Amino acid sequence: MTAQDTQEATGPETAVPEATAAEATAGATGATGSAGEVPMVVAQRVRKRFGQLEVLRGIDLKVRQGEVVVLLGPSGSGKSTFLRCINHLEQIDAGSIHVEGRLIGFRRSGGRVHHLRPREVTRQRRDIGMVFQHFNLFPHQTVLENVVEAPVGVLGLSKAEARKTAMELLTRVGLAEKAASYPRQLSGGQQQRVAIARALAMRPKLMLFDEPTSALDPELVGEVLATMRDLARDGLTMLVVTHEIGFAKEVADRVVFMDGGQVLETGTPQEVLDSPANPRTRAFLSRFL
Amino acid sequence: MATTQPPATRDDPGKAELPPGAVPVVDVAGASPVRHPLRWLAVLLLAVLAAQLFHFLITNPHFEWSTVGAYFGAQVIGQGIATTVELTAIAMLIGIAGGVLVAVGRMSENRVLSTVCGAYVWFFRGIPVLVQLVFWYNLSALLPRISFGVPFGPEFISGHTNTLITPWLAAILGLGLNEAAYMAEIVRGGLLGVDQGQTEAAAALGMGRARILRRVVLPQAMRFIIPPTGSQVINMLKATSLVSVLALADLLYTVQSIYNRTFETIPLLIVACLWYLVMTSVLYVGQSFIERYYARGATRHAPQGFWNFALFRRRPDAPSPAADSPLAKEET
């Protein structure tokens, strides 16, 4: 699938004016072919600039439920920014992002689009998990406290209940015995696995991974990728920014290549990684051979 | 290097028989330490000065140590201490609470709010506390009546400033509002010291701004806030002595009122000094403990318990300089 194909695939909704974003979402559902299923993420002509620099120049992307999509591209291509726009850590300047049919960061009423209140944005983020390059665990809390914090504080679970779920998740990422440790007592790979468990504790419908292995020593990358592979196998919808081509090949349902704030190519791993149509994709991938 | 003569051989003719490139067998264990004659001279000098000071303390009759002893535990002094401690505690509470508010206001995206908070800091830091205290005390000259009500509308409560602003309230206002300005800067520095990624991670978990501040940012900022706040408390304890100008019976005013009567000036000032030292020492120990508490997770070591710390016990897992050297490891 080439960039042109993407345009065609998302054609129905990009053609309609923004005022009918809801219908566009419905159109997108139709485009996937599976009737009744709302796509997990629908990004339409997303634009974002930082001062003079236009980082995102009209991103169109659709992620189906249960799909694992890997975003590839050189640094500065806007992958991470785009990911951060999906849970509104960055506010987009134009276009729109829907997650499960809900407009992110804004609401429509009376034919106009309004900014959401911070409280409402906060609420939207509950269902979207995010894993960061630098883990960003809370260093003053133990591993268990890190995982329990949001379920208790945000979802209002009882401490006992949250602890039980947290221990299950820590067991799943292989770190149950580290529950009482502080993050700085762990290796980078272990910290990132805790960060994944912490995000999963909110039972997200969508997980965003922002270069989850880029800050790790090479020998620690494997354990984190294994954890992610495990999640993908369980059918979690994942959007992953990474430079791990091997992971993309093995796990991704779809690979999206971005450069200069645009999606240049999208398709199955075989299509994009083995026989890239775009010369810039080819140039980028040649560096990994 | 192997083909040329090693420089060591050239410098030391005694080792000339070594083949080129070889190194003599040396063991640095038991090497004699560097001598520091100047340090010994300084120690000697200080010892003489200490002896002189001791002699002065013992032999000078004007200290009137018996008078010091008599007043040290006196009830009236205790009341003065209580006032000093009370003023310190309340003014610091106002200072910390106000400081957090002003700091958060200064970091607000709202320009008006951040400017007003900035102006607050500028104003209250720019005027000496003593002047502020006297000003609050004399507020009635500027504002004879104080009333609360709808601005430009009806009044609900009103009263004479002189009855409302007692010396005690003037002291609390002067010290507390001034402290809030300093604490605002300390808190702001602490908040800025916490990595932005922490806020983002918490936000991505669906935490609201207030919760992020309370659960994630502030506990980490505490590590940066506590040490300067500790010295602020100690400063505040000492600054409360300024309220003696408002005829408020703190520790200093109490001893002053006694020696104005009895003319035992020096012994009573020494009583005050000793009590100030006792109180600041207690605060110092408390501060160190709180610092250790908020340092949890900041190092790879578990925080030390209070009693171990208070009794100067080394924590068992602390890296001592000796333990790091390979020689010490061989011994164990």
Q: Any idea which fold A3-127+204-285 has? A: Rossmann fold (3.40.50)
- Closest-CA distance, A114 to chain B, in angstroms, reads 19
Q: In 3-state terms, what secondary structure has residue B158?
A: strand
Ranked by mean pLDDT, which of A16-30, B18-32, B46-60, B308-322 comes out on top? B46-60
3-state percent helix, strand, coil for chain B, nearest multiple of 5: 70, 5, 25
Q: Which of A77, A32, A75 is nearest to A59 (CA)?
A: A77
Neighbours of B314 (CB within 10 A): 10
User: Does B297 contact A141 at a Cβ distance shorter than 8 Å?
Assistant: yes
- The strands making up A206-210's β-sheet, listed across from edge to edge, are A128-131, A206-210, A237-241, A68-72, A254-259, A262-267
Residue A79 has pLDDT above 70, yes or no: yes
A47 - beta bridge partners?
A: A57, A94
Once rounded to an integer, what is the mean pLDDT over residues B75-97?
A: 94
What are the chain A neighbours of B293 within 8 Å (beta carbons)? none
Residue B276 has pLDDT above 90, yes or no: yes
Domain boundaries, chain A: 3-127+204-285, 137-203
Once rounded to an integer, what is the mean pLDDT over residues B201-210?
A: 94
Residue B322: its pLDDT value, please? 42
The ipTM value here is 0.85
Residue B195 pLDDT level (bands cut at 50, 70, 90) = very high
Residue B305 pLDDT level (bands cut at 50, 70, 90) = low
What are the chain A neighbours of B205 within 8 Å (beta carbons)? 125-126, 149-150, 154, 198-199, 202
Once rounded to an integer, what is the mean pLDDT over residues A87-91?
A: 94
For residue B307, give every residue at least 6 positions away whose Cβ sits within 8 Å of its Cβ, in sequence order, or none.
Answer: B313
- Closest-CA distance, A12 to chain B, in angstroms, reads 31
Sequence-separated contacts (24+) of B57-62 with Cβ below 8 Å: B62/B266
Burial class (CB in 10 A: 0-12, 13-18, 19+), A109: exposed
Q: Which of A186-190, B70-74, B188-192 has the lowest mean pLDDT?
A: B70-74
Residue B179 has pLDDT above 70, yes or no: yes
Residue A172 has pLDDT above 90, yes or no: yes
Distances from the Cα of B78 to the Cαs of B71, B243, B310, in angstroms?
Answer: 10, 17, 25
Test mutation, B205, B224, B301, chain A, max A CBs within 10 A: B205
Whether residue B193 lies within 8 A of chain A, CB to CB, comes out as no
User: Does B209 contact A118 at a Cβ distance shorter than 8 Å?
Assistant: yes
User: Does B208 contact A118 at a Cβ distance shorter than 8 Å?
Assistant: yes
User: Does B197 contact A119 at a Cβ distance shorter than 8 Å?
Assistant: no
For chain B, percent of residues with pLDDT exceeding 90 = 50
Residue A289 pLDDT level (bands cut at 50, 70, 90) = low
**Is the Cβ–Cβ distance between A73 and A14 less than 8 Å?**
no
What are the chain B neighbours of A126 within 8 Å (beta carbons)? 205-206
What are the chain B neighbours of A132 within 8 Å (beta carbons)? 197, 200-201, 204
Residue B236: its pLDDT value, please? 94
Give the chain B residue whose CA is nearest to the CA of A89.
B200
What are the structural domains of chain B? Answer: 62-296 (1.10.3720.10)
What are the chain A neighbours of B299 within 8 Å (beta carbons)? 184
What are the chain A neighbours of B210 within 8 Å (beta carbons)? none
**Is the Cβ–Cβ distance between B190 and B100 less than 8 Å?**
no
Residue B148: its pLDDT value, please? 80
| Facing residue for A150 by CB, picked from B205, B209, B294 | B205
- Closest-CA distance, A149 to chain B, in angstroms, reads 9
Q: What gap in Å lies between CA B84 and CA B250, rounded to an integer?
A: 5
Residue A65: its pLDDT value, please? 94
pLDDT tens-place string over residues A48-59:
999 999 999 999
Residue B306 pLDDT level (bands cut at 50, 70, 90) = low
Residue B42 has pLDDT above 60, yes or no: yes
Token pair in block for residue B100: 């957090």
Residue A6 has pLDDT above 50, yes or no: no
Test mutation, A133, A138, A185, chain B, max B CBs within 10 A: A138
Measured CB to CB, residues of chain A less than 8 Å from chain B are 87, 89, 118-119, 122-123, 125-126, 128-130, 132, 134, 136-142, 149-150, 153-154, 182-185, 195, 198-199, 202
Residue A22: its pLDDT value, please? 44
Whether residue B317 lies within 8 A of chain A, CB to CB, comes out as no
| Facing residue for B297 by CB, picked from A128, A153, A184 | A184
- Closest-CA distance, A267 to chain B, in angstroms, reads 28
A190 - beta bridge partners?
A: none
Residue A70 has pLDDT above 70, yes or no: yes
pLDDT tens-place string over residues B289-301:
888 877 776 665 5
For chain B, percent of residues with pLDDT exceeding 70 = 84
What are the chain B neighbours of A119 within 8 Å (beta carbons)? 208
Whether residue B207 lies within 8 A of chain A, CB to CB, comes out as yes
Residue A29: its pLDDT value, please? 40
User: Does A139 contact B297 at a Cβ distance shorter than 8 Å?
Assistant: yes
